[in-house]
Amino acid sequence: MNAEAEVREMEAAVLRPVTERSRTFILFVLAAVAVILWALYAWSVQLRNGLEVTGMRNHVSWGFYITNFVFWIGISHAGTFISAVLRLTGVGWRTPVVRMAEFMTVGALLVGGAMPVVDLGRPDRILNLIYHGQLNSPILWDLLSVTSYFTGTLIYLYLPLIPDLATCRDRLSDKVGPLRRWFFHTFSLGWQGTPEQWRLLNKGIRAMCMMIIAVMISVHTVVSFIFAMTWRAGWHSTIFGPYFVIGAIYSGIAAVVTEMWIFRKTFRFQKYITPNHFRWLGNILLAAGLVYFYFTSAEYITAVYKMSEHELGLLQALFHGPYSGYFWSYWIGGMAIPLLLLSLPRTRNMLGIGIASILINIFMWIKRYFIVIPSMAVPLQPTPWGSYSPTWVEISIVAATFAGFALIVGTLGKSVPLIPMWEMAEELEIESDARDLAERKRSAPRPAGPVPGYAPGGGAGR
């Protein structure tokens, strides 16, 4: 098959889910909306009665919401990591997964960013953060960094989408409703695929790429500073910044792998998302996991060796006290098993890597839980330990962040092409060029014919 035909086939496959009506998708949306509506009710109860309806009290004054905040901001890292870092380093295989990873960043930032707001005792006064914002406070750093990351991600997601939106505009106008026709038309910004437009686009993508990596690192660093800037046992640590960033990449990439698994099946992208993609991402996941293992061990070994009075109670609670169940299950389910699955040749297949990714997702939530809660429960005065157990309100709202996240990513995936078609086409052409070259070397030398150019949106090459 020549390159042009391959590109056409790929475009057809990528555009299919955009136009196809699917019963499963509607059921999925309904289920997600139901969970969200229930959580809105729970939130209204909380707004009426105050945070009294949560399990938080004076001793353990942060709970599920802050845990969940750290979790989602962590997930949001992978989108950029995969997309920007791999783009910058020119890794070709990234193409089919970058956009879904970026969708994930958008979804995770939206639901994660809502968490601190839900956690506020006085959400009605949230604008005080603007009127009276104090740059002293890590909360302000978080606010600035998360909003810049969100804005940057939207731009960075949008730029490579323009040529694909133009393709949709030209090909799908009779297959979609007026709303989406308008959307494709407006947001493709009159893209014609002229050399000047390509030059500008590539320049923009490259600039955003570098900027977004810096912002990404800052985001989880300052999230960790919310904890590290206090005196509490377990939080009072200098490595919290990089420790959290690596943890975020570890959990984020795991989430991308899970997502890839789901989209590959439901959107029938088996041809473009191959077992190799799982293996390649599995390698990065393994690397991130090992670095995270290193940081986590360093964090605990230095504390365990000294057994300072300050940390002693916390360590006992984690090792054989009330939190030991979480702690040890994390080491087994969140580190040992996934890292083995990712490194043993026999399990380095889609199933093994997929299971590892799901385990990592679950246990990284638990990890954040036992980073936040026990350090709060440590008594700072001669009092008993604090206790915490979430109420139905907190559980409902946290559940809704998962539903909301799935809804955002799913809807985005159904609305615009999930695989960047023009980048994919470039990939296919490079591959077919390589094949041509190999063939030419084998057969008699003949003059090289022109490689069919690719310009989406009805450009001259077609």
Partner 1 sequence: MPDVTRRQLLRWIGAGGAGVASGVIPFLAAAGQAGDAKGTAREQTLQSTGRQWVMVVDRKKCEGCTTIDKPPRCKAACKKEHFVPEEQNWMEVYEAPDEGGGTYFKPRPCQHCEKAPCEHVCPVEATYYNPDGLVLIDHERCIGCRFCLAACPFQARYFNWGKPENPPGAAFASYSPEYPVPHRIGTAEKCMFCGHRLRQGKLPACVEGCPMQALWMGDLTEDVATNGTEAVRLSAFLHERHAYRDKEELGTRPRVFYLPGHGEDYGR
By CB under 8 A, the residues from 146 to 185 that bind partner 1 are none
One residue of 92, 190, 325, 379 binding partner 1 per CB under 8 A: 379
Residue 69 Cβ, how far from partner 1 at the closest point, in Å? 12
Binding status of residue 126 toward partner 1 by CB under 8 A:
yes
Binding status of residue 313 toward partner 1 by CB under 8 A:
no
Binding status of residue 52 toward partner 1 by CB under 8 A:
yes
Task: Give 200 or 380: the residue with its C-beta nearer to partner 1.
Answer: 380
Binding status of residue 306 toward partner 1 by CB under 8 A:
no
Supply angle C-alpha 296, 299, 304, rounded to 5: 120
Long-range contacts of 227-235 (CB under 8 A, 24+ apart): 227/371, 227/372, 227/375, 229/138, 232/375, 232/376, 232/378, 232/380, 233/310, 233/311, 233/313, 233/314, 233/375, 233/378, 234/303, 234/311, 234/314, 234/371, 234/374, 234/375, 234/378, 235/371, 235/375
One residue of 119, 164, 311, 427 binding partner 1 per CB under 8 A: 119
One residue of 106, 157, 376, 412 binding partner 1 per CB under 8 A: 376
Q: For partner 1, which stretch binds (CB under 8 A), given 128-136, 200-208, 313-321, 349-357?
A: 128-136
Q: For partner 1, which stretch binds (CB under 8 A), given 124-132, 150-158, 362-370, 434-442?
A: 124-132
Q: For partner 1, which stretch binds (CB under 8 A), given 134-142, 289-297, 330-338, 428-436?
A: 134-142
Give me the helix-helix angle, 95-119 and 64-80, nearest 10°. Answer: 160
By CB under 8 A, the residues from 60 to 89 that bind partner 1 are 61-62
Task: Give 117 or 307: the residue with its C-beta nearer to partner 1.
Answer: 117
Task: Give 143 or 291: the residue with its C-beta nearer to partner 1.
Answer: 143
Residue 182 Cβ, how far from partner 1 at the closest point, in Å? 39
Binding map of partner 1 across residues 238-277, x = CB under 8 A, - = no contact: ----------------------------------------
* Residue appearing with tokens 């709303």: 179
Task: Give 105 or 218: the residue with its C-beta nearer to partner 1.
Answer: 218
104, 79 Cβ separation under 8 angstroms:
yes
Closest CA to 108 of 143, 150, 142, 138: 150
One residue of 21, 122, 346, 442 binding partner 1 per CB under 8 A: 122
Is residue 21 exposed (0-12), middle (13-18) or buried (19+ Cβ within 10 Å)?
A: exposed
Binding status of residue 353 toward partner 1 by CB under 8 A:
no
Rounded to a whole number, what is the distance in angstroms from the first to the last CA of the chain? 17
238, 229 Cβ separation under 8 angstroms:
no
Binding status of residue 140 toward partner 1 by CB under 8 A:
yes
Helices first, then strands: H and E counts in the chain: 18, 0
Binding status of residue 392 toward partner 1 by CB under 8 A:
no
Other Cβ atoms less than 10 A from the Cβ of 27: the count is 10
Instruction: Compute CA distances 199 → 89, 193, 195, 203, whole Å.
Output: 19, 10, 6, 6
User: What does the binding site for partner 1 look like in residue numbers (CB under 8 A)?
Assistant: 49-54, 56-59, 61-62, 116, 119-123, 125-126, 128-129, 131-134, 136-140, 143, 226, 229-232, 376, 379-383
